[in-house]
Amino acid sequence: MGRPLDQRLFAGGAADALRAAGDCLAVAARERTGPYSGASPDELAAIAAGIEPFPEEGIGVAAALTQLGRLAVRHGVDPGHPACAAHLHCQPLAAAVAAAGLVAATNQSLDSWDQAPLATHLEGRLVAGLAARAGLDPEVAGGVVTSGGTQSNLMGLAVARDAAAARSGRDVAADGLGPDAGRFRILCSELAHFSVARAAAVLGLGSRAVQPVPVDGQRRLRPDELDRALDRLEAAGQRPLALVATAGTTDFGSIDPLPALAGRARERGLWLHVDAAWGGGLLFSDRHRDLLAGIEAADSVAVDFHKLLWQPAGCGAFLVRDRALLGPLEVTVPYLNPDPPAGVPDGWRMPHLVGWSLATTRPFTALGPLLSFAAVGRRAMGALVDRTLELAAAAAAAIEGEPALRLAGRMTSPALGAVPFRYVPAPDEPGRSDRVNEAIRLRLLAAGQAVVGRTEVAGRVHLKLTLVDPTTSEADLAALVALVAATGAALDHD
Ligand SMILES: *Cc1c(COP(=O)(O)O)cnc(C)c1O
């Protein structure tokens, strides 16, 4: 036998390791000067090439953190920096980071009750509470914590597909897609998230089964165009089965008209999936909850806790109006969730979540939102959500105040914090505009000064600010917008 194992390698060392990680963060924070180091992909590839992934001998947690931990932080982007505003990429709440430490150290796994006893019930509370906020009946609704909107959208469309097939007597889970499936269609806004088309591809319907519907001037799905599309599909013998409404489009933050779409879904017998990956945070707002009016009519909903609501990546939720609809995902595994044997003592029927998720081993990420709401409170959390909408308005105003910058369409109705715009070169010729705007983004990134989004609107390269950090100030935004304008001027006249 070898030496007795040092218990500090495992859980016995977790508290010290977490403290050392905290020290590593503090050092990195002191060293930081901007939202990014400015290192190029080639420089980072060279740094990564110098890291031996499986070194023969270890050096201990503290030294590993000094070597590798600090490097990882130094060359990460800092989503908490006010000039980091490219994506739906938030800085986490302190409480959420504490939760992540506890989740990792205690490592409950939600695939069976005996690996996650209280965690199983607490995830259930989170999901039921979210369902209630969305106006679903929490006694009937079901749901599960997911890795995010992509997985939640996949689940929503899987359940929609299976429910539609079941109406014509087909059990897709058991028998696969039937001959009808080639006619299945999914409708959504032309600005819906790409994960909708991807879900259709994975589900065997094909991404071309997704029919994009035009949006109005406020970038919301047009119900009249939806009617036309549905009439056309039905006349062509296709079988529309689901309507995806987006509450928070990625480039514009626009919210589809949920009440009108709910009405269409009801009239036409369509499954209504609301992709509120971003907009779901509004469920907690006192001022703007009404922007989600109509969500209570959804058959399924996707909400991300890792956008608004400020959790570390990998934390979303999937809700379904009636948990019985999750039937096609159900599994019975003798070693996880066997049928309870006869004579189970009172109070010992174990609920298992394995049949509600596409994942098996699954972390207790639900602790993050629960601990965060416990620490911050629903009211203050809602106010943080509201603040991001104010910041979007402030950013738009700052952009309008710069003669060389132009917003990509002014949205008059309140929308979530996405502000696409471009630097307008002189002369404003498309190739030149695209080049200058690409160059602005790259120069700011390479200088480590700002991380600004890049997208395309009507085929033209645009910059974009995505405002999900409530700690940003109006002055920060004014400085960022001025920096973009000055960088554009310098590049345009190079
Ligand atoms: C972010 C987002 C997604 C994808 O969600 P992930 O959490 O990144 O998987 C889907 N839909 C919308 C509207 C989103 O904003």
What local confidence, expressed as pLDDT, does residue 3 receive? 73
User: Which atom number of ligand 1 is nearest to the Cα of residue 278?
Assistant: 15
Cβ of 253 closer than 6 Å to ligand 1, yes or no, is no
Other C-beta atoms within 10 Å of 128: how many? Answer: 18
Is the CB of 193 inside a 6 Å radius of any atom of ligand 1? yes
pTM above threshold 0.95: yes
Rounded to whole angstroms, how far apart are CA atoms 390 and 412? 13
User: According to the model, what pLDDT value does residue 424 have?
Assistant: 98
Residue for token digits 């983004």? 441
Q: Is it the case that residue 2 has pLDDT exceeding 70? A: no
CB atoms < 10 A from the CB of 363, how many?
Answer: 21
Ligand 1 center to 148 CA (angstroms): 7
Please choose from 146, 155, 221, 250 the residue to mutate so as to test ligand 1's pocket, defined by most ligand atoms within 8 A of CB.
Answer: 250
Query: Residue 189: phi, psi to the nearest 5?
Result: -65, 150
Band (pLDDT 50/70/90 cuts) for residue 1 is low
With a 6 A CB cut-off, is 150 part of the ligand 1 pocket?
A: yes
Across the chain, mean pLDDT equals 96
Cβ of 156 below 6 Å from ligand 1: no
Residue 388 CA to ligand 1 centre (angstroms) = 18
pLDDT at residue 185 is higher than 70: yes
> Ligand 1 centroid to 228 CA: how many Å?
28
Decide: 388 in ligand 1 pocket, CB within 6 A.
Answer: no
Atom 3 in ligand 1: which residue has the minimum CA distance? Answer: 149
Looking at beta carbons, which pairs linking 222-225 to residues 24 or more positions away fall under 8 Å?
223/257, 223/260, 223/261, 223/264
Q: For residues 336 and 340, what is the distance between their CA atoms, to the nearest angstrom?
A: 11
Residues 6+ apart with CB under 8 A from 255: 220, 246, 247, 248, 249, 279, 291, 292, 415, 416
In sequence order, the 6+-apart residues with CB closer than 8 A to the CB of 161 are 172, 181, 184, 203, 205, 241, 242
Write down the pLDDT at residue 5. 81
pLDDT for position 415: 84
Mutate to test the pocket of ligand 1, among 150, 315, 365 (most ligand atoms within 8 A of CB): 150
Per residue in 282-334, pLDDT (tens digit) is 999 999 999 999 999 999 999 999 999 999 999 999 999 999 999 888 888 98
Identify the pLDDT of residue 412: 72
Task: Examine the pLDDT at 111 and tell me if it is beyond 60.
Answer: yes
Range with the lowest mean pLDDT among 110-124, 318-332, 449-463, 478-492? Answer: 318-332
Q: Per residue in 215-268, pLDDT tens?
A: 999 999 999 999 999 999 999 999 999 999 999 999 999 999 999 999 999 999
Taking residues 88-117, what's their average pLDDT?
Answer: 97
Ligand 1 atom at minimum distance from 148 CA: 7
Point out the ligand 1 atom lying closest to the alpha carbon of residue 246: 13
What's the mean pLDDT in 364-369? 98
Give me ligand 1 centre to Cα 154, in Å.
11
Per-residue pLDDT at 285: 98
Centre of ligand 1 from the C-alpha of residue 417, in Å: 15
Radius of gyration of the CA atoms of the chain, in A: 25
Residue 236: other Cβ atoms inside 10 A: 9
Tell me what percent of the residues of the chain surpass a pLDDT of 90: 92
Span 190-199, mean pLDDT? Answer: 98
Q: Is 287 exposed, middle or buried (0-12, 13-18, 19+ CB in 10 A)?
A: middle
Instruction: Give residue 205 CA to ligand 1 midpoint distance, Å.
Output: 20
Measure 304 CA to ligand 1 centroid, in angstroms. 7
Tens of pLDDT along 384-416? 999 999 999 999 999 999 999 999 987 777 689
Q: Which atom of ligand 1 is nearest to the CA of 276?
A: 13
Q: Going from the N-terminus, what domains does the chain have, and what CATH number goes with each?
A: 104-333+350-376 (3.40.640.10), 378-492 (3.90.1150.170)
Mutate to test the pocket of ligand 1, among 147, 157, 278 (most ligand atoms within 8 A of CB): 278
Minimum CA distance residue for ligand 1 atom 10:
149
**Atom of ligand 1 at shortest range from CA of 153:** 10
| Banded pLDDT at 164 (limits 50, 70, 90) | very high
